Amino acid sequence: MNNYINKIVDGKVSQINEGNNIREVGRVRKVQTYMVEVSGMTGAAYFDKVVIERPGKGEVAEGYVDRVERNGVMVALTNKYDELLIGDEAVGTGAAFSMQYSEDSIGHVIDMFGNDRLNNKRFTDLLEFPVESENTPIMERGEVKRPFHTGITGIDLMYPIGRGQRQLIIGDKKTGKTQILLDAIANQREENMLCIYCAVGKTKKEVKEIYADLLRRGAMNYTIIIAAFNDECPPTMRNTPYAAMTIAQHYMLTQARDVLICIDDLKRHADVCREIALLSGKVPGRDAYPPDIFYAHSRLLEKGCQHLNGGSITVLPVCETKGGDITDYISTNIISITDGQIVLSAKNFERGLKPAIDYGLSVSRLGGAVQTGTMKRTNAAMRRELLSYLETREVYELTNENELGQELQKKLKRGAEILSKLVQPKYSPRSEDRIVADFSELMK
């Protein structure tokens, strides 16, 4: 024991003599791209903000404590200004890693640190929030029953979305996933809805195009774009959706507002989480994703709700698939969290049936509960008929049409007609009245 303590004391004393205060300052010991092991920093708490400095050069990186280890901490970098060197100083700020947000952000492209990405300026009068805020408790939730209008017939009529619902948009590349989000945002002009578009791992060009599109349609007046671009540090990409959700919660809780939040996309987010987990040496699970990947998404999407105070957060997350397979691990995870999914099919897209919704695979778990009167009746009748048509069409594809029974022929004709009424060009929203009128003939 004696020797042991002597050794420790000697070690620490020589550190003091060298001028290192081991309580607050640590030294970079190992660098793995953006995951950094730091020795010392005894006082650092889990998720504290850390600044890495080099004497004579100033700040070289920022990050947060991802893990407190027995003899050091693991720091995930959120901003890297320069390559790190072994021996760089890590300084604990003593405060939790947080996000900054300014209420002037509406109409701008921002990041989670309070910067305006279009002109690279920092907002003034910033509010500081924890990145992840508390989930709305089960007893403070209300029922989801007020409709949310996207203006798209295939959604508003067949798979309606309610305020406070989480509806997944899922499909292959280039099937119009983002377009559905943009249509939905553009349709909120009259609705007093605050829209947040959260881009995760999108390119700067893509985001700029989305911004220009929304600006042209006057939709930026009530929209915030919060972006973590493709080339940013993965820990920033990982945290940005939570930050976007915190902004939404801020408006819901303090002003009881209805907020729409689009997250584009969660597959990329899952990949980022996987990258970070593997780099920090966590045990991999299915498809090498970390075992808590479900929780990473469930706690994010569970923040979507109808609050008892009247406000709501409607969430439209996006998930990209490969080869039209919606049964892979991440997709089924997210489907099992959300209140339904709009599945987009590449085949329909190629056939020109836009929006390319796959009516068989799409689901709304709330269904008619968020619709009123005529819409609800039209929905129940038309959806059943359409699904039955799609299935029958497949079975009888090779049968000579004239040999089919009268009833069957009529059914096929009506089905085709329903399908044709669901085709709709982009940015041409249809109101409930218009939709009801469109289908009134068929309802008779």
Partner 1 sequence: MNNENYKDIPEEELNIFSLDDDSVKEDLVKAFTGEEKEPEEVQAAVEEKAEAPAEAKAEKKAEAKAEKKAEPAPAKAVKAVKPGKKASESKAVTSGKKEGEPVGRIISVSDLKVEILLDKEVGNKDILVCECGGKEYRFEVTEMEGSIAITVPFDSVIGLRRGIDVFRIGGGLCVPYNDEIVGKIFNTYGQPLDDSKVESDAVRNVYDGNLAMDEIRIDADIMWTGIKVLDFLSPLRKGFKMGLLGGAGVGKTVLIKELIHNVYTNLNSNSVFIGCGERSREGRELYNEMVEGNLMDKITMVFGQMGENAMARSRSVTSGLTMAEYLRDEKNQDVLLFIDNIYRYVQANSEISAESGHLPIDNGYSTTMLSEISDVEERINSTENGAITSFQAIFIPADDLNDAAVHAVQQHLDGQVVLDRKVAEKGLYPAVNVFRTTSRLLDPEFVGERHARLAQEAVRYLSRYEELEEIVALIGIDELSLEDQSIFYRSRKLRNYFSQPMFVAEDFTGIPGQFVAIEDILNDVEDILTGVYDKKDESRFMYIGKARGYV
- The residues carrying an active-site annotation are 365
Residues 348-387 that bind partner 1 (CB under 8 A): 360-361, 363, 365-369, 376-377, 379-381, 383-384, 387
Q: Which of 290, 311, 317, 415 binds partner 1 (CB under 8 A)?
A: 290
Which range of residues in 15-23, 150-158, 173-181, 198-206 is near partner 1 by CB under 8 A?
15-23
Q: Which of 32, 33, 71, 254 binds partner 1 (CB under 8 A)?
A: 71
- Residue closer to partner 1, measured from CB, 29 or 204: 29
CA distance 227 to 424: 29
| Residue found under tokens 């299935």 | 391
Q: Which of 120, 398, 402, 420 binds partner 1 (CB under 8 A)?
A: 398
Where are the strands (E) in 97-172, listed by range?
A: 98-101, 109-110, 115-116, 121-122, 127-130, 147-148, 161-162, 168-171
- Residue closer to partner 1, measured from CB, 79 or 136: 136
Cα–Cα separations (whole angstroms), residue 94 to 37, 65, 87, 91: 18, 11, 21, 9
Residues 18-47 that bind partner 1 (CB under 8 A): 21-23, 42-47
The reply on whether position 416 binds partner 1 by CB under 8 A is no
Cα–Cα separations (whole angstroms), residue 133 to 78, 184, 240, 321: 19, 26, 13, 30
Residues 130-159 that bind partner 1 (CB under 8 A): 130, 132, 135-139, 141-144
In the bound complex, what is the minimum distance in angstroms from residue 343's beta carbon to partner 1?
Answer: 10
Would you call 87 exposed, middle or buried from its count of C-beta atoms within 10 A (0-12, 13-18, 19+)? exposed
- Residue closer to partner 1, measured from CB, 394 or 441: 394
Question: Which residues are bridge partners to 169 per DSSP?
Answer: 318, 342
Task: Please compute, for residue 38, the number of CA atoms within 13 A of its CA located in the half-sphere on the CB side.
Answer: 35
Q: Which of 214, 337, 342, 435 binds partner 1 (CB under 8 A)?
A: 337
Q: Which of 298, 309, 374, 409 binds partner 1 (CB under 8 A)?
A: 298
Task: Please compute, for residue 344, the number of CA atoms within 13 A of its CA located in the half-sphere on the CB side.
Answer: 29
Question: Which residues are bridge partners to 29 per DSSP?
Answer: none
In the bound complex, what is the minimum distance in angstroms from residue 104's beta carbon to partner 1?
Answer: 28
CA distance 109 to 116: 6
The reply on whether position 286 binds partner 1 by CB under 8 A is yes
In the bound complex, what is the minimum distance in angstroms from residue 41's beta carbon to partner 1?
Answer: 9
Question: Which residues are bridge partners to 242 per DSSP?
Answer: none
Q: Which of 114, 147, 164, 415 binds partner 1 (CB under 8 A)?
A: 164
The reply on whether position 310 binds partner 1 by CB under 8 A is no
Q: What is the DSSP string of 212-253?
A: HHHHHTTGGGGEEEEEEETTS-HHHHHHHHHHHHHHHHHHHH
Q: Which of 113, 129, 396, 427 binds partner 1 (CB under 8 A)?
A: 396
- Residue closer to partner 1, measured from CB, 58 or 360: 360
In the bound complex, what is the minimum distance in angstroms from residue 77's beta carbon to partner 1?
Answer: 17
- DSSP class of 283: P
- Residue closer to partner 1, measured from CB, 175 or 379: 379
Which range of residues in 11-19, 51-59, 83-91, 436-444 is near partner 1 by CB under 8 A?
11-19
Structure tokens at 336: 């099992």
Which range of residues in 176-184, 196-204, 336-344, 414-422 is near partner 1 by CB under 8 A?
336-344
In the bound complex, what is the minimum distance in angstroms from residue 273's beta carbon to partner 1?
Answer: 12
- Residue closer to partner 1, measured from CB, 67 or 421: 67
CA distance 139 to 444: 43
The reply on whether position 291 binds partner 1 by CB under 8 A is yes
CA distance 172 to 273: 21
CA distance 239 to 245: 10
Q: Which of 29, 54, 208, 299 binds partner 1 (CB under 8 A)?
A: 299
